[in-house]
Amino acid sequence: MVGMALMGHAPTDGWNDEECVAVYKRARRLGCDLVKITMPASRMEDNLAVHVFRHKIETTETRSRLIAYNTGKQGRPSMCFNKILTPVKYPSAKANTESAKAADGMVTAKEVFTSLFASFVYEPMHFFIYGANVSYSLSPAMHNAAYGACGMPHTYGTHSSSSLDDFKRLAREPHFGGVRNVFLCNRTLENAWTLAHHYNELIGANAISELDHANAAYTQVRVLESFESAWPKDFRQPSMIVSSIPTQTADGTPTNFTIPENWLKSPTGGVMVELAYRPLMTPIVKQMRAQAHKGWMFMDGFDVLPEQAFAQFELFTGRRAPRKLMRDEVIKQYMEEQNEPALSARNLDPNPPSR
């Protein structure tokens, strides 16, 4: 429950008036979970006064839940510094319309963040994607477009390296914000066994909280020695397959990988996820589209890549990702690259085998 005191006129002493404290305490006694107090600002100093009042409540009241800001054009700075349920207006409200007049004296969400960064409340940070060869990743396009739309002067770039040595240095930089790491994996059978053993030990120790402990005894990571291996008879046919096979080798030769037909015998079909997106039309894409009549659904790299970016953006910033903008931006960037013939001669797979 929110108790609101929307004062049409400021008290005699403004935010320093004892009436403001009395209103807050009365609302809390009535059981209000939040208390909202506003009053019109007549001068810029009123925005400093509301900050002092907010600090007073936070330091003298236990579990304070206060929404406090000034209204009107002079009060806009206080809206930017209010921490809870600040009203914002839609950015494209046209002038001289009823909605624009109603929103007069309000701010957009972008303006709030622009003000907070300009006031040094927040610092611009640098984020990046790190891996063996990530220079052609489309992730920066999505993230930088989202930062710009939200009024955040962050930057998102790429850093290619065959080891983690550079990462240690980058992580110590003052404006380091976070990183998405493309796992450097030497794809050998021995390494696959080692990885499977590691996860099986975690499963056996009930160290993976997301697993249903009732089925832990039947859960294991297993390794098939080659793509020619028959699907084990005592296992159910897979209903979810994730392919992280690069579309080309280090010298640019296409891998032309497809799923073995004896792995696609699930009577109810399933879901196939392809992580690669350069090129978008791969042999595995054509293969799985032909399996649609058997109940197989296919998700390509442009289904997965934006979803990863949404989660990363929200983890890095604590804000909801502008999803449509980010999806549109990654498709736009990809289409622009397709119109540049010079790019087709380069290794565009964002995660090729290590040289």
Mean pLDDT of 72-100: 83
Cα 283 to Cα 42, 113, 225, 226, 245, distances in angstroms: 68, 45, 22, 19, 12
| Identity at 169, one-letter amino acid code | R
- The least confident of 126-140, 182-196, 280-294 is 182-196
Mean pLDDT of 296-311: 93
SS3 call for 299: strand
Query: pLDDT value at position 158?
Result: 93
Neighbouring C-beta atoms of residue 307, cutoff 10 Å: 15
Mean pLDDT of 300-329: 95
For residues 111 and 117, what is the distance between their CA atoms, to the nearest angstrom? 10
Nearest CA-CA partner of 134 in 111, 112, 162, 102: 162
Band (314; pLDDT cuts 50, 70, 90): very high
Query: What DSSP string runs through 104-139?
Result: TT-B-HHHHHHHHHHTTSS---EEEEEESS-TT-SH
Percent of the chain with pLDDT over 90: 56
Query: pLDDT value at position 350?
Result: 55
| CA–CA–CA angle 294, 295, 301 (5° rounding) | 115
Band (155; pLDDT cuts 50, 70, 90): very high
Query: pLDDT value at position 354?
Result: 40
For residues 122 and 141, what is the distance between their CA atoms, to the nearest angstrom? 22
Most confident of 140-144, 158-162, 247-251, 278-282: 140-144
Cα 173 to Cα 170, 177, 183, 303, distances in angstroms: 5, 9, 22, 33
Query: pLDDT value at position 341?
Result: 66
Query: pLDDT value at position 62?
Result: 78
Tokens of 352: 């090729």
Res. 104: pLDDT tops 80: no
Band (72; pLDDT cuts 50, 70, 90): very high
Domains of the chain: 2-118 (3.20.20.70), 128-185+323-345 (3.40.50.10860), 196-304 (no CATH)
Res. 228: pLDDT tops 60: yes
Tokens of 282: 């791969």
Band (292; pLDDT cuts 50, 70, 90): very high
SS3 call for 210: coil
Cα 242 to Cα 234, 258, 271, 302, distances in angstroms: 21, 12, 8, 14
Cβ-proximal residues to 30 (8 Å cutoff; 6+ apart), any chain: 3
Query: What DSSP string runs through 128-197?
Result: EEEESS-TT-SHHHHHHHHHHHHT---EEEEEE-SSSHHHHHHHTSTTEEEEEE-------HHHHHHHHH
Res. 88: pLDDT tops 90: yes
For residues 180 and 312, what is the distance between their CA atoms, to the nearest angstrom? 8
| Identity at 328, one-letter amino acid code | D
Res. 31: pLDDT tops 50: yes
Band (157; pLDDT cuts 50, 70, 90): very high
Mean pLDDT value across the chain: 87
Query: pLDDT value at position 353?
Result: 45
Band (293; pLDDT cuts 50, 70, 90): very high
Greatest extent of the chain over all pairs of C-alpha atoms, in Å: 84
Band (132; pLDDT cuts 50, 70, 90): confident
